[in-house]
Structure 1
Amino acid sequence: MLVLGACSRSPESPESPAGDPSASIAAAASAALAATITPEVAAAVSAGAEPAIAWREPHGQAEVEAAFAEAQKLGQPVFVYWGAVWCPPCNQVRATVFNRPDFIAKSRGFVAIYLDGDQPGAQKLGARFKVRGYPTMILFRPDGSELTRLPGEVDAQKYLQVLALGLGAARPVRQVLAQAQSAPAKLSADDWRLLAYYAWDTDEQQLVGKHSLAPTLRRLAAACPPAQAEAATRLALQALLAEAGEEGKANAKVPRNHAAAREKLLTVLADDALARQNLDIVTNYAQELSGLLTAPGTPEREQLASVWAATLDRLTADARLSQGDRMAALVSRIALARLGAPKDAPLSAVLQEHVRLQTARADREVASDIERQAVMTSAAHALSQAGLLGDSDRLLNAELKRSHSPYYAMLQLAANAGQRGDKGAALGWYERAYKESRGPATRVQWGASYVSALVELAPEDAARIAQAAASVLGELKGQPDAFYDRTARSLERMSGKLLAWSHGAERAAVLGRLRAQRDGLCTVLPAGDAQRATCEGLLVAPARLPAGARSATHT
């Protein structure tokens, strides 16, 4: 989890902590669920309907072009899903959205493309579509122009609403944004919703630069008409997320008074309907937004943390939610409890027991291997963050025997060992995770993480570092598109670690041998290939800028 940059509806466990209202919440949830599922969907689920989405899985540019040509011929939009087999949030989407009969029915109206990041040529395609994190989901018009990007962490019902909104959009979100900035009064209710539920976190600065995102979203929220309160609230929360990001804080020119934003957030947290509409924000960013909006030791911090904790406890106990959403609420609850506390401060025994009970419940109730890849990795992370490393290890070791991507769980086992101070065990898990990982992009990513761990935990072991780094570079041999997108970023991170480590004669010699190996990879690339510059830039110290100059990457 340290190295990777996120729908079973079961009754609540009877083993809830004393005083926990989960039993009554679960009963109400079951009744509400029965009232909202259509008879057709219920019948399909009862019959054990298998996902039947007609995915195209292109292995290169030509097959992608063919899929878009087919869409244009049919007059259908294109749905592009960028993901990976091991990725927990991808498995969450597969378990809660892609397997739903209503989503499968909608898929008949668009051409569905699945880009697996480990397929041949996938990373080059990722660069074409400007996608980075897994999962990213994009809607295109039949003519190939991008319509909108879909949020991956909202709950399944909201996702389907946003999907329908995108499919019915009369124009791309880029045009909607332009009009919102020039003539907001002309926007329709659907236009405002399209902006509010756009996946700003996967935009990759196509619509708005990172330093302009927070103020742009604040202006949109302020321009929203009173009748569009849901969109205005969502845009305001998205603005806060952008501001809470490191880039947003670094770019802040003057301190802001967050009293109004804090009151708006308290309103959302106290209202179950509003909390559900913004579930992804409420269950994933409690610590970040509480830290942004309040100062340590203040009554405002105490009030916001108390209200947010109560909301997260309700969501964790809410059987209407997917298991993944409930576990995300639990993880956020722990993060909130740790806000402002010393790093090694223990959690209360009551909260630790709550974490044990909720993770044990999820372990009993989640049967699907796909869903377990999302939920149980989060459960293990929750246990680890709660200081329950032994419980986390036991859960992860059990998952190794049943997971379709056990190498992912090994990263958390490595992190747990490192948290104990057992460097040998941590490196053993990082090494094993690399050796057992599957897929070209994944193997480079896992290998680069292993090298980084070696540099951090065993910097004196030059031989082992040299062997591991050479192995990672060896993964690239024979790959025609090895230096694109996620793979390129993994290599660049590894390069930076090695450069920082390479002081002294022995280490400099290791770097020299690795550079020779790199040269062998670069020289086979055509001179005009965009990859060549990336390749040649590896293991090279960046040039120092003159005093007062600014890097082009920060303008």
Structure 2
Amino acid sequence: MSRSAVLSLPVSVLRATALCAVLALSGPAVSLAAYNPPSHNVAWQPAAADADIDKAFAQGKAEKKPVLVYWGAAWCPPCNQLKATLFNRQDFAERSKSFVAVHIDGDAPGAQKLGSRFKVRGYPTVILFNPEGQEITRLPGEVDAPQVMNVLQMGLSGGRPIKAVLADARAGKPLPANEWRLLAFYSWDTDEAQLVPAAERPGLLAQLAAAAPAAEVETSTRLLLKSLAETDAGKPAAVSAAQRERVLKVVADAAASRTQMDVIVNYAPDLVSALAPQAGPDRKSTAAAVDTALQRLQADTTLSRSDRLSALIARVGVARLDQPKDTLKPQLPDALVKQVRDMAATLDREITDGYERQAVITSAAYALGQAGLWKESDALLKANLAKSHSPYYLMSQLGGNAKKQGRKDDALAWYAQAFAKSEGPATRLQWGSSYFTALIELSPKDAATIEKVAAQLFTEAGNQQGAFYERSARSLQKVGTQLGQWNKGGQHQAVVDRLKAQLAPVCGKLPVADGQKATCDGLIKA
């Protein structure tokens, strides 16, 4: 699946680690009454509290089975893509008999506390633990389903914990081929600095690429591509002539580029920038070579609709490289614009699965916007509101479209509607935070609405379990930060004082030991 399918389009992180010490119980076990599993062909065990997780790990240890933990949300496009392409597969269902499958819905009562326990942040995150509770690996959600199944099988076949594998690789110890592949296919996007700080990731991946055995060509190539893709655009990596030639050979080879599809598709502009940092003939030829590979992938019917659309989105991204990032009407080839328009229409017409529609239509609308077809992007989103099980996601995207075009009133109206329609405790805080941010940016003089929305979010947080953990805590911290910026110079001090007074009893009820009270107390700075 594409990184472009995540909330806060354009591109966001697709994106826990080793089992932390067991925390105190956080509320009742999840109710099965209204439980909606990720798929109906797998015996998923819902988890909403530490007790649920402890039970799953006890079962895994007793039955000598690994434990697979899936963390996601109903609205999340990449999560829906997993449901449409991986979890519903018969081979996945068969394979699930050899592990304990656990599903954590990010909006379940204690889910955000569980997120803190596992150091999980991004939806979706899929983690495979051994029966002793040590993380074997994180499955990459962006690769196509058959490759995920291969990685899963490697983990299930007595795989060692990823930390031990990485430590041996860094120490120069020999590793079997499967362990090199586990490193290459590890979900670095959802690592959350558990194995390595994000800033050190490009260098580590480059070192691993150089250290991989010569016989493991696909593995070392993948590590090299990932290292280039991870490089900060503002600090281009020093790419040798040999590395450049190697990458260009991969994109020119149909089989090799298909094998490395997810990296090429999801990071195409980054790869072009790494290979050719400056505009000019080298960048032009590099972009043309990458575009040729993307065209093949776009036409590859063995890939999912989402991946084929992602290849087209990547082509637009490459074509926009030397244009201002915020340009509304990019200069693109007419044929490319037509393909974006045609593919969006085809996908809208052909997709019947609700999960796939949630994943793909949002990306198609993004593609239309990136191609400068804003009216068509809006029209596609509006036409799908009634077809989506999470229409508030599409409403947020409509708000984003309007904001980019300078239609402030429309943007605020869509953000407000998205917040009003959003469902689930963590989701409501996230959508409310987005609406609040838009108010501060687009309508800073509307103090009454700003105070009303902040007050509502603090009220909802006070009535929730786990509002001061992980994603929910970050949503509230974002509100606090925006409040501070809005009140710079004390011009809205009366509003801030009232909100602080409202928040004080909420913070006062929180336990001190696990950091919840400190998080709450720090929301509104003096």
What's the TM-score once normalised by structure 1's chain length?
A: 0.86
| Pairwise CA distance, 1:131 | 0.9
Say if 2:228 and 2:270, in contact at 8 Å, map to a contact too.
no
1:356 & 1:205 partners in 2: Cα distance? 39
* In the alignment, structure 1 residue 341 sits paired with structure 2 residue 326: no
Say if 1:285 and 1:332, in contact at 8 Å, map to a contact too.
yes
Match of 1:12 in 2: none
1:8-43 per-residue CA deviation (whole Å, 9 max, x = no partner) reads xxxxxxxxxxxxxxxxxxxxxxxxxxxxxxxxxxxx
Match of 2:273 in 1: 291
Q: Secondary structure at the match of 2:255?
A: helix
| Pairwise CA distance, 1:330 | 1.4
Match of 2:29 in 1: none
Match of 2:26 in 1: none
| Pairwise CA distance, 1:357 | 0.7
* In the alignment, structure 1 residue 213 sits paired with structure 2 residue 198: no
* In the alignment, structure 1 residue 240 sits paired with structure 2 residue 228: yes
Amino acid at match of 2:309: M
Match of 1:69 in 2: 58
Match of 2:119 in 1: 130
* In the alignment, structure 1 residue 168 sits paired with structure 2 residue 168: no
1:418 & 1:170 partners in 2: Cα distance? 48
| Pairwise CA distance, 1:258 | 4.4
Q: Secondary structure at the match of 2:361?
A: helix
- Unmatched tracts of structure 2, length 5 or more: 1-6, 15-38
Match of 1:263 in 2: 245
Say if 2:105 and 2:111, in contact at 8 Å, map to a contact too.
yes
Say if 1:213 and 1:242, in contact at 8 Å, map to a contact too.
yes
Match of 1:524 in 2: 509
Amino acid at match of 1:119: A
1:330 & 1:183 partners in 2: Cα distance? 40
* In the alignment, structure 1 residue 281 sits paired with structure 2 residue 263: yes
2:140 & 2:316 partners in 1: Cα distance? 24
2:224 & 2:322 partners in 1: Cα distance? 25
1:303 & 1:196 partners in 2: Cα distance? 28
Say if 2:366 and 2:377, in contact at 8 Å, map to a contact too.
yes
2:409 & 2:191 partners in 1: Cα distance? 40
1:371-406 per-residue CA deviation (whole Å, 9 max, x = no partner) reads 000000000110011111111111111110110000
Number of residue pairs matched by the alignment: 491
1:119 & 1:204 partners in 2: Cα distance? 22
Match of 1:300 in 2: 282
| Pairwise CA distance, 1:240 | 1.4
- Root mean square deviation of aligned Cα: 1.7
Amino acid at match of 2:227: A
| Pairwise CA distance, 1:505 | 5.0
| Pairwise CA distance, 1:230 | 0.9
Amino acid at match of 1:339: L
Amino acid at match of 2:95: K
Match of 2:4 in 1: none
Q: Identify the match of residue 406 of structure 1 among 388, 391, 396.
A: 391
1:110-129 per-residue CA deviation (whole Å, 9 max, x = no partner) reads 00000010001000001111
2:150 & 2:159 partners in 1: Cα distance? 16
What's the TM-score once normalised by structure 2's chain length?
A: 0.90
Match of 1:115 in 2: 104
Q: Identify the match of residue 201 of structure 1 among 189, 196, 201.
A: 189
Match of 1:187 in 2: 175
Q: Secondary structure at the match of 1:285?
A: helix
Identical aligned pairs, as a percentage?
49
Match of 1:46 in 2: none
2:482 & 2:245 partners in 1: Cα distance? 43
Match of 1:321 in 2: 303
Amino acid at match of 2:379: R
Change (3 A) 1:505 1:181: closer
Change (3 A) 1:98 1:257: closer
- Unmatched tracts of structure 1, length 5 or more: 7-49, 542-555
| Pairwise CA distance, 1:485 | 0.4
Match of 2:17 in 1: none
* In the alignment, structure 1 residue 52 sits paired with structure 2 residue 41: yes
Q: Secondary structure at the match of 1:147?
A: strand
Say if 2:261 and 2:297, in contact at 8 Å, map to a contact too.
no
2:479 & 2:243 partners in 1: Cα distance? 40
* In the alignment, structure 1 residue 443 sits paired with structure 2 residue 428: yes
| Pairwise CA distance, 1:528 | 2.7
Within 5 A, what are the aligned runs for 1:13-52?
51-52=40-41
Within 5 A, what are the aligned runs for 1:372-391?
372-391=357-376
1:376 & 1:258 partners in 2: Cα distance? 39
Match of 1:462 in 2: 447
Moved more, 304-313 or 442-451: 304-313
Match of 1:99 in 2: 88
| Pairwise CA distance, 1:520 | 2.0
| Pairwise CA distance, 1:5 | 4.7
Say if 1:396 and 1:409, in contact at 8 Å, map to a contact too.
yes
Q: Secondary structure at the match of 2:101?
A: strand
Within 5 A, what are the aligned runs for 1:353-372?
353-372=338-357
Change (3 A) 1:5 1:453: farther
1:516 & 1:268 partners in 2: Cα distance? 60
| Pairwise CA distance, 1:260 | 3.2
1:64-104 per-residue CA deviation (whole Å, 9 max, x = no partner) reads 10111011111100000010000000001110000000111
Q: Secondary structure at the match of 1:53?
A: coil
Within 5 A, what are the aligned runs for 1:133-148?
133-148=122-137
